Amino acid sequence: MDIISNQMEETSRRLRRRLWIFAGVCLLLAASSKLLYLKGLTLPNLELIIPVLVVTGSTYLWNVGERAERVGRTFGLLVLGGVLAVDLLFWGWHPIYLFTWSGFLLVWLLATRNRLSPFSGFRNLLGRTALTAALAILLFDFWTGVVGSPLTSSFYGPLTSLSTWITALALQFPFTLYHLSSLLFLPPLVGLLKLSTRIRVEAPLAVRVGASVSTTQRR
Protein backbone atom coordinates (compact mmCIF):
# COMPACT_ATOMS: atom_id res chain seq x y z
CA MET A 1 0.00 0.00 0.00
CA ASP A 2 2.88 2.36 0.79
CA ILE A 3 4.32 1.79 -2.69
CA ILE A 4 0.99 2.53 -4.36
CA SER A 5 0.44 5.58 -2.13
CA ASN A 6 3.90 6.95 -2.97
CA GLN A 7 3.30 6.36 -6.68
CA MET A 8 -0.02 8.21 -6.54
CA GLU A 9 1.57 11.12 -4.67
CA GLU A 10 4.41 11.31 -7.18
CA THR A 11 1.93 11.19 -10.08
CA SER A 12 -0.07 14.06 -8.53
CA ARG A 13 3.09 16.14 -8.16
CA ARG A 14 4.05 15.53 -11.78
CA LEU A 15 0.54 16.39 -12.94
CA ARG A 16 0.49 19.63 -10.97
CA ARG A 17 3.89 20.58 -12.37
CA ARG A 18 2.78 19.90 -15.93
CA LEU A 19 -0.44 21.87 -15.52
CA TRP A 20 1.45 24.84 -14.12
CA ILE A 21 3.78 24.68 -17.14
CA PHE A 22 0.72 24.59 -19.39
CA ALA A 23 -0.73 27.60 -17.57
CA GLY A 24 2.58 29.45 -17.99
CA VAL A 25 2.61 28.72 -21.72
CA CYS A 26 -0.98 29.98 -21.99
CA LEU A 27 -0.09 33.19 -20.16
CA LEU A 28 2.87 33.72 -22.50
CA LEU A 29 0.68 33.10 -25.56
CA ALA A 30 -1.93 35.62 -24.38
CA ALA A 31 0.71 38.29 -23.80
CA SER A 32 2.42 37.53 -27.12
CA SER A 33 -0.92 37.83 -28.93
CA LYS A 34 -1.38 41.34 -27.56
CA LEU A 35 2.19 42.37 -28.37
CA LEU A 36 2.01 41.02 -31.94
CA TYR A 37 -1.16 43.03 -32.52
CA LEU A 38 0.51 46.18 -31.21
CA LYS A 39 3.39 45.57 -33.64
CA GLY A 40 0.87 45.32 -36.49
CA LEU A 41 1.70 41.67 -37.20
CA THR A 42 -1.81 40.29 -36.56
CA LEU A 43 -5.37 41.43 -37.19
CA PRO A 44 -7.03 43.27 -34.28
CA ASN A 45 -9.63 40.61 -33.53
CA LEU A 46 -7.55 37.53 -34.33
CA GLU A 47 -6.27 36.90 -30.83
CA LEU A 48 -5.37 34.23 -28.29
CA ILE A 49 -6.58 35.93 -25.12
CA ILE A 50 -10.18 34.70 -25.19
CA PRO A 51 -9.24 31.12 -26.30
CA VAL A 52 -6.69 30.95 -23.46
CA LEU A 53 -9.19 32.23 -20.90
CA VAL A 54 -11.83 29.77 -22.09
CA VAL A 55 -9.60 26.67 -22.15
CA THR A 56 -7.99 27.31 -18.77
CA GLY A 57 -11.22 28.48 -17.16
CA SER A 58 -13.48 25.77 -18.60
CA THR A 59 -11.27 22.80 -17.81
CA TYR A 60 -10.80 23.78 -14.17
CA LEU A 61 -7.17 22.65 -14.10
CA TRP A 62 -6.81 23.43 -10.47
CA ASN A 63 -8.66 20.58 -8.71
CA VAL A 64 -5.42 18.75 -7.97
CA GLY A 65 -4.72 20.40 -4.63
CA GLU A 66 -6.21 23.01 -2.33
CA ARG A 67 -3.45 25.57 -2.79
CA ALA A 68 -3.37 25.07 -6.55
CA GLU A 69 -7.13 25.52 -6.71
CA ARG A 70 -6.99 28.82 -4.81
CA VAL A 71 -4.29 30.17 -7.09
CA GLY A 72 -5.98 28.74 -10.17
CA ARG A 73 -9.15 30.65 -9.49
CA THR A 74 -7.17 33.85 -10.00
CA PHE A 75 -5.47 32.76 -13.24
CA GLY A 76 -7.89 34.87 -15.27
CA LEU A 77 -6.82 37.87 -13.22
CA LEU A 78 -3.18 37.16 -14.10
CA VAL A 79 -4.03 37.18 -17.80
CA LEU A 80 -6.09 40.33 -17.34
CA GLY A 81 -3.20 41.95 -15.48
CA GLY A 82 -0.86 41.17 -18.37
CA VAL A 83 -3.29 42.68 -20.89
CA LEU A 84 -3.73 45.74 -18.67
CA ALA A 85 0.02 46.25 -18.37
CA VAL A 86 0.59 45.95 -22.13
CA ASP A 87 -2.27 48.35 -22.91
CA LEU A 88 -1.05 51.00 -20.50
CA LEU A 89 2.59 50.60 -21.51
CA PHE A 90 2.05 50.91 -25.27
CA TRP A 91 -1.15 52.96 -25.57
CA GLY A 92 -1.63 54.74 -22.27
CA TRP A 93 -5.02 55.19 -20.64
CA HIS A 94 -8.24 55.19 -22.69
CA PRO A 95 -11.82 54.96 -21.36
CA ILE A 96 -12.60 51.98 -23.62
CA TYR A 97 -10.28 49.90 -21.44
CA LEU A 98 -12.98 49.88 -18.79
CA PHE A 99 -15.01 47.77 -21.20
CA THR A 100 -12.25 45.61 -22.68
CA TRP A 101 -10.79 44.67 -19.30
CA SER A 102 -14.19 44.00 -17.76
CA GLY A 103 -15.08 42.09 -20.94
CA PHE A 104 -12.15 39.71 -20.47
CA LEU A 105 -13.20 39.25 -16.85
CA LEU A 106 -16.72 38.33 -18.01
CA VAL A 107 -15.18 35.78 -20.40
CA TRP A 108 -13.22 34.18 -17.55
CA LEU A 109 -16.28 34.01 -15.30
CA LEU A 110 -18.32 32.46 -18.11
CA ALA A 111 -15.64 29.85 -18.75
CA THR A 112 -15.32 28.81 -15.10
CA ARG A 113 -18.97 27.79 -15.07
CA ASN A 114 -18.12 24.78 -17.26
CA ARG A 115 -15.90 22.95 -14.74
CA LEU A 116 -14.82 20.39 -17.33
CA SER A 117 -12.26 17.74 -16.48
CA PRO A 118 -8.94 18.03 -18.32
CA PHE A 119 -9.02 14.21 -18.50
CA SER A 120 -12.15 14.21 -20.69
CA GLY A 121 -11.90 13.14 -24.31
CA PHE A 122 -10.39 15.55 -26.84
CA ARG A 123 -13.60 15.88 -28.86
CA ASN A 124 -15.72 16.54 -25.79
CA LEU A 125 -13.33 19.20 -24.49
CA LEU A 126 -12.99 20.82 -27.90
CA GLY A 127 -16.75 20.91 -28.49
CA ARG A 128 -17.58 22.42 -25.11
CA THR A 129 -14.75 24.96 -25.16
CA ALA A 130 -15.53 25.95 -28.77
CA LEU A 131 -19.16 26.64 -27.87
CA THR A 132 -18.12 28.60 -24.79
CA ALA A 133 -15.51 30.57 -26.74
CA ALA A 134 -18.04 31.47 -29.46
CA LEU A 135 -20.49 32.74 -26.84
CA ALA A 136 -17.66 34.57 -25.07
CA ILE A 137 -16.62 36.34 -28.28
CA LEU A 138 -20.20 37.43 -28.97
CA LEU A 139 -20.58 38.68 -25.40
CA PHE A 140 -17.20 40.45 -25.43
CA ASP A 141 -17.81 42.15 -28.77
CA PHE A 142 -21.29 43.30 -27.81
CA TRP A 143 -20.05 44.68 -24.50
CA THR A 144 -17.01 46.46 -25.95
CA GLY A 145 -18.14 47.36 -29.46
CA VAL A 146 -21.86 47.96 -29.20
CA VAL A 147 -22.06 49.25 -25.62
CA GLY A 148 -18.57 50.52 -24.83
CA SER A 149 -17.66 52.30 -28.05
CA PRO A 150 -20.62 54.72 -28.18
CA LEU A 151 -20.19 55.46 -24.46
CA THR A 152 -16.51 56.33 -24.84
CA SER A 153 -16.39 57.98 -28.29
CA SER A 154 -18.34 60.86 -29.83
CA PHE A 155 -17.88 59.34 -33.29
CA TYR A 156 -21.18 57.45 -33.10
CA GLY A 157 -23.36 60.42 -32.24
CA PRO A 158 -25.61 61.33 -29.30
CA LEU A 159 -26.39 58.54 -26.88
CA THR A 160 -30.09 59.43 -26.90
CA SER A 161 -30.37 58.67 -30.63
CA LEU A 162 -31.39 55.19 -31.76
CA SER A 163 -29.25 55.58 -34.88
CA THR A 164 -26.16 55.78 -32.65
CA TRP A 165 -26.68 52.27 -31.33
CA ILE A 166 -27.71 50.88 -34.73
CA THR A 167 -24.51 52.32 -36.21
CA ALA A 168 -22.40 50.74 -33.47
CA LEU A 169 -24.06 47.37 -34.05
CA ALA A 170 -23.62 47.58 -37.84
CA LEU A 171 -19.95 48.56 -37.58
CA GLN A 172 -19.22 45.83 -35.05
CA PHE A 173 -20.79 43.03 -37.11
CA PRO A 174 -17.90 42.42 -39.60
CA PHE A 175 -15.31 42.68 -36.82
CA THR A 176 -17.17 40.01 -34.86
CA LEU A 177 -17.29 37.71 -37.87
CA TYR A 178 -13.52 37.53 -38.18
CA HIS A 179 -13.10 37.66 -34.41
CA LEU A 180 -14.78 34.24 -34.46
CA SER A 181 -11.79 33.03 -36.50
CA SER A 182 -9.91 33.04 -33.20
CA LEU A 183 -11.67 29.71 -32.57
CA LEU A 184 -8.98 28.20 -34.82
CA PHE A 185 -6.59 28.44 -31.86
CA LEU A 186 -8.71 26.10 -29.74
CA PRO A 187 -7.69 22.70 -31.23
CA PRO A 188 -3.94 23.22 -30.59
CA LEU A 189 -4.64 24.60 -27.10
CA VAL A 190 -6.86 21.65 -26.16
CA GLY A 191 -4.33 19.28 -27.74
CA LEU A 192 -1.54 20.81 -25.65
CA LEU A 193 -3.70 20.40 -22.55
CA LYS A 194 -4.28 16.72 -23.32
CA LEU A 195 -0.54 16.17 -23.80
CA SER A 196 0.07 17.86 -20.44
CA THR A 197 -2.19 15.38 -18.64
CA ARG A 198 -0.63 12.25 -20.17
CA ILE A 199 1.68 10.81 -17.52
CA ARG A 200 3.33 7.39 -17.39
CA VAL A 201 2.43 5.50 -14.23
CA GLU A 202 4.19 2.37 -12.97
CA ALA A 203 1.54 -0.15 -11.89
CA PRO A 204 2.37 -3.51 -10.24
CA LEU A 205 0.96 -6.63 -11.94
CA ALA A 206 -0.76 -9.45 -10.09
CA VAL A 207 1.35 -12.64 -10.29
CA ARG A 208 1.16 -16.21 -9.00
CA VAL A 209 2.74 -17.10 -5.69
CA GLY A 210 6.41 -17.78 -6.18
CA ALA A 211 6.63 -15.84 -9.41
CA SER A 212 8.74 -12.72 -9.68
CA VAL A 213 7.02 -9.37 -9.47
CA SER A 214 7.31 -7.07 -12.46
CA THR A 215 5.94 -3.71 -13.47
CA THR A 216 4.51 -2.29 -16.63
CA GLN A 217 4.14 1.20 -17.96
CA ARG A 218 0.62 2.54 -18.31
CA ARG A 219 -0.58 5.89 -19.54
Give the closest residue to 193 by CA, choosing from 27, 73, 23.
23
Domain containing residue 83: 2-218
Binned at pLDDT 50, 70 and 90, residue 218 comes out as very low
Q: Is pLDDT at 128 greater than 90 in this prediction? A: yes
Q: What's the confidence (pLDDT) of residue 183?
A: 95
Alpha-carbon distance 105 to 186, whole Å?
19
Longest CA span, the chain: 88
More confident residue, 34 or 107: 107
Mean pLDDT to the nearest integer, 105-134: 91
Model pTM score = 0.82
Mean pLDDT to the nearest integer, 83-103: 88
Give the closest residue to 176 by CA, choosing from 208, 146, 212.
146
Strand partners, 204: 215
> Domains in the chain: how many in total?
1
99-111: string of b/e by CB count within 10 Å (b at 16+)? Answer: bbbebbebbbebb
